[in-house]
Amino acid sequence: METGQENLTKKERADLRRAEKEKAQHKTRSARKMKKYFSWGIAIAIVGALIFWGISSAEKADEARPGEHQANEGSAHIDVGDEHDEYETNPPTSGSHAESIPFGIYDTEVVDENAIHNMEHGGIWITYKDLSDEDLAKLEEIARKAPRSVLLSPRSANDSRISVASWQRLMHLEEVDVEAIEDYISKNINRSPEPLAS
């Protein structure tokens, strides 16, 4: 018999034991709840950290891609010749566009609105002006390595001698840099709303 219970009746002692038992059970339940909440808290923290890490990694990977990021100018479908907003970049990297054209090497200019659709499907558009035959041959060799994902065409409206464009990404060059262009292609191909290039 515990000290202080000598003067209690049998019923009072039973009530006291029951109360102590309930108190112990309540304490056990509270500890289990706390353990459960703690486990859930850790799980939520881990999921949150993974989401943050994933977003952060994606942003870092995007920043590490060759070329400068460009604003999204939309992807409205139009016919060639239809009026539309003027493109913000030269050459354009997004915006209103018409039907896509076959990837490959063109010796005449292609219409911007067609090339944009190719970029929407994950393609790369290499444009040039004022190049020597030797430099043009280097670009053609690059394009031949990716015949189903690269458009190569002259473009007199370019601001630079060579522009390499993909969806919302643009790189300007004054000289043919085979390594830089191939790196651009490998890191920007299919980084678009409707990736289909191969």
User: Could you read off the pLDDT of 61-118 as tens digits, one per residue?
Assistant: 566 799 999 999 999 999 999 999 999 999 999 999 999 999 999 999 999 999 999 9
Weakest-pLDDT range from 16-25, 174-183, 189-198: 16-25
Q: Domain check: are 100 and 20 in the same one?
A: no
Q: Domain check: are 60 and 76 in the same one?
A: no
Cis peptide before 154 (omega within 30 of 0): no
Weakest-pLDDT range from 5-14, 23-32, 109-118, 167-176: 5-14
Q: How far apart are the first and last CA of the chain?
A: 85
CA-closest candidate to residue 71, choices 1, 167, 146, 196: 167
* Average pLDDT estimate for 21-37: 81
CA-closest candidate to residue 119, choices 169, 83, 160: 169
Which amino acid would we find at residue 137? A
pLDDT value for 45: 77
Q: Are 161 and 169 in contact (CB under 8 A)?
A: no
pLDDT band at 1 (very low <50, low <70, confident <90, very high): low
CA 27, chain centre distance (Å) = 49
User: Residue 58 is part of which domain span?
Assistant: 1-64
Give buried/exposed letters for 71-104 (b at 16+ CB in 10 A, else e).
Answer: eebebeeeeeeeeeeebebbbbbbbbbbebbebe
User: What's the CA angle centered on 9, arms 8 and 10, to 5 degrees?
Assistant: 120
Q: Domain check: are 56 and 119 in the same one?
A: no
pLDDT value for 3: 56
Q: Is the dihedral of CA 52, 58, 64, 67 positive or negative?
A: negative
pLDDT band at 195 (very low <50, low <70, confident <90, very high): confident
Which amino acid would we find at residue 55? I
Q: Domain check: are 149 and 164 in the same one?
A: yes
pLDDT value for 179: 97
pLDDT value for 80: 92
Number of compact structural domains in the chain: 2
Q: Domain check: are 101 and 124 in the same one?
A: yes
Distance CA 97, CA 116 (A): 6
CATH number where 86 lies: 3.40.30
The tokens for 82 are 């239809």
Distance CA 14, CA 105 (A): 95
Report pLDDT digits (tens) over 124-155: 999 999 999 999 999 999 999 999 999 999 99
- Choose one of 45, 64, 83: the last residue of a domain: 64
Weakest-pLDDT range from 20-29, 138-147, 166-175: 20-29
The residue ranking higher by pLDDT, 115 or 5, is 115
* pTM of the entire predicted model: 0.70
